[in-house]
Structure 1
């Protein structure tokens, strides 16, 4: 299990707001475990805080806008992408304006600052949400996001514009470790033909050639170009040919597609948990990104606990003979067959339930059901392997129940089922006592859960 991460110390960035044009300071602070990303408007009375989650998105026009009541914070996606890519789970962002500063239009300044202050491990485990089946969202415009099962997190992005300058482009990020080199410097972009309309909507007041790629892809009369230059307060320019009009060249030929990929990561950060899955996006935008994120987050919120991944073809971490070296249990009371995952805090065991189990003779002859108490015992045996495996002479010790709390049985376990037992220490082992939370799964369904305390005692 990986630990949750927060910033090692605070850092601040200052700059113009892309849409408001205001000078804004945003400070990124360490935050307690299990609090996620939160944004505090320090310029407002009572310093209201908005949790950065998908259901709090109130607008997606030219950026992601979070809101709670009358409070708004926009242009959050670049900073959230940088935090997510760095593996930061918990962060409090304090901002003294209605949006985060646009900086150079990319995420690279955030990435550099996160690297400068460093990260700090926290006590709580990182809570990945593992994609186990294809999930897809498609809107009426033809935009589509699909996420597939994968061992890590990756994104493919395809953009399509009816433009002679910006044709169809493709970008891919196979590993978040490559975010800084492959994505973070990609700048936001705008078409010259869009600028007047955006200004009429009271947007991009802080936009300029230093914080956005500007694309001239349709010929416009010189007087109209001069008028746009006057509105955005830049010197008149004479555009003799179509193309990119920034003094700074593109970092990559597909920089717009890479920026869209960055936006996807920032918007997916609003799920509230790190993902394991491969995202494929066709014609993405903040609106469809948020609809997709809301759909996934709804599934996340309704999933109390996920079944561990189980590949029956993989060699076990500890086979039944190894288990016998750790536990004193023997037939007919050895109730785990193998260990498939284990670290200092958690263990996953497998029990193949066959009709030959001796308890099925009387429980029940006409309808064999595994007794719930034995499901709890199987979880306890998995916990026993967890704690005894790290002792110097495990064969000299045994574990015994001291108490069992909050036991719930959700559905029957019957012959033919494969029982996946996931147990985790909820506190450090103190005075030979271990507090454990356990879940038993059949497929993706929880069949049993319990909390229990066990004591480690040296054998006589």
Structure 2
């Protein structure tokens, strides 16, 4: 499966829902592995904001992402269309703080993408699997969103607003191909009890009675409806038998639930990844949606950081070593108590596997720490470096002390190493970088990666 973008750029114009500012959104193709990027072309320096959950800054009446002093609001309807159409790399150039609300749905964004055309790119698409249950619960807001392992991307939404008009509604989507007809046209909704306070707070300057379903959740007089009609420049409004204002006709009996499903898709696009999983959301909103996006994003990042099972070295206590400590001391100048490689299990032209048994009587445990002994991370790195040096000296047949490590980067320590652990150290040679020999050092306990680093080595002349 390949990554996708659009064939040509396309633009849409309209006011934002909350600020009412007329904005132009230009959607452009982007290169592979770009993801979704918003670019504020109206600001100095034209700052770019990646569409990822880490950058969510507000979810009060829509989803806002921010980086430094730049932000873009109400991005969820646009991202729902982008993600559902299978687009992976898009640049959104916008000249204002808010995506145009248009009709309050994803319909016109879908039409714009079809107008632009969709093309495959010369890059493979990675789809990640959710392999454990993930849950976000907010008892105060009465929100519950869970994601379960599944072989495909599925969503279910349940609304329960304890309202006679909108008591229980349900919507589901088992295939993103059904988004265009069944979800994209569904418009946002608002309760009548929320409408006037929002107007008085100037929070829906770009809203009108053509881009939102108004649910009548309180007793109101015709005089109040007439005042509302005047605010929105309508001749009149009244309540339909369905319990909504007659400003719009419902396209589906469960249109509010379908719109909430649309919002979930858009907010979960902020994971930054394609994934298979079944999402079940009860009373979802932008806050809960984006919190779930953060959980899924972290879950996938953890997967990306874990090495493939094929790359994890296998070691058993009964395995016969290629080199014991005596042979190692013939190659390395290090001696007790500063020799941190006990055995070499295998050695090839591109890779070495070493072992360090972390015993209870290591000298450093008396001070690090007596009641909770932990191997210092500096010594974990030292064990990796000694294994790397042994690899270089053995592979190149050079004299001792003929290599140095001018740069060690991307150092990550993932968990504590304690007495009784067996540190399995793998050092692999990768492509040279800037004239240096580049090595990848990894340390495992069992099958768990506990430390890693990129090592640049240089021969001393």
Counterpart contact for 1:133–1:149, Cα < 8 Å: yes
The secondary structure found in structure 2 opposite 1:194 is helix
The answer to whether 1:124 aligns with 2:98 is: no
The secondary structure found in structure 1 opposite 2:20 is coil
Deviation at 1:113, TM superposition (A): 2.1
Distance 1:148 1:370 in 2: 42
Equivalent residue number for residue 187 of structure 1: 187
Distance 2:291 2:447 in 1: 25
Distance 1:351 1:69 in 2: 40
Equivalent residue number for residue 152 of structure 2: 152
TM-score (norm 1): 0.68
**Do the aligned partners of residues 128 and 240 (structure 1) sit closer, same or farther apart at CA in structure 2, a change above 3 Å counting?**
closer
The answer to whether 1:11 aligns with 2:39 is: no
The secondary structure found in structure 1 opposite 2:38 is strand
Distance 2:314 2:251 in 1: 58
**Do the aligned partners of residues 446 and 276 (structure 1) sit closer, same or farther apart at CA in structure 2, a change above 3 Å counting?**
farther
Structure 1: tracts of 5 or more residues without a match: 309-347, 379-400, 413-424, 427-436, 452-460
Counterpart contact for 1:209–1:246, Cα < 8 Å: no
Counterpart contact for 1:216–1:242, Cα < 8 Å: no
Deviation at 1:84, TM superposition (A): 0.9
Structure 1 vs Structure 2 CA RMSD: 4.1
Q: How many residues align?
A: 370
Equivalent residue number for residue 345 of structure 2: 371
The secondary structure found in structure 2 opposite 1:227 is helix
Structure 2: tracts of 5 or more residues without a match: 326-341, 353-394, 396-407, 418-429, 432-439, 455-461
Distance 2:46 2:313 in 1: 55
Distance 2:184 2:148 in 1: 24
Distance 2:63 2:223 in 1: 33
Distance 2:250 2:275 in 1: 31
The answer to whether 1:21 aligns with 2:30 is: no
Distance 2:175 2:344 in 1: 43
Distance 1:138 1:153 in 2: 21
CA-to-partner distance for each residue in 1:376-403, whole Å, 9 max, x for gaps?
A: 789xxxxxxxxxxxxxxxxxxxxxx9xx
CA-to-partner distance for each residue in 1:56-96, whole Å, 9 max, x for gaps?
A: 21111121112223322111001101111122111110112
Equivalent residue number for residue 33 of structure 1: 32
Counterpart contact for 2:51–2:65, Cα < 8 Å: yes
Equivalent residue number for residue 390 of structure 1: none
The answer to whether 1:84 aligns with 2:88 is: no
The secondary structure found in structure 2 opposite 1:270 is helix
Equivalent residue number for residue 254 of structure 1: 254
Distance 1:229 1:111 in 2: 30
Point out the structure with max Rg over C-alpha.
2
Distance 1:306 1:120 in 2: 32
Counterpart contact for 1:61–1:287, Cα < 8 Å: yes
Counterpart mapping for 1:33-182 below 5 A: 33-139=32-138, 140-182=140-182
The secondary structure found in structure 1 opposite 2:179 is helix
Counterpart mapping for 1:281-296 below 5 A: 281-296=281-296
Distance 1:369 1:375 in 2: 18
Distance 2:20 2:412 in 1: 57
Counterpart contact for 2:28–2:90, Cα < 8 Å: yes
Equivalent residue number for residue 341 of structure 1: none
The secondary structure found in structure 2 opposite 1:150 is coil
TM-score (norm 2): 0.68
The secondary structure found in structure 2 opposite 1:29 is strand
**Do the aligned partners of residues 43 and 447 (structure 1) sit closer, same or farther apart at CA in structure 2, a change above 3 Å counting?**
closer
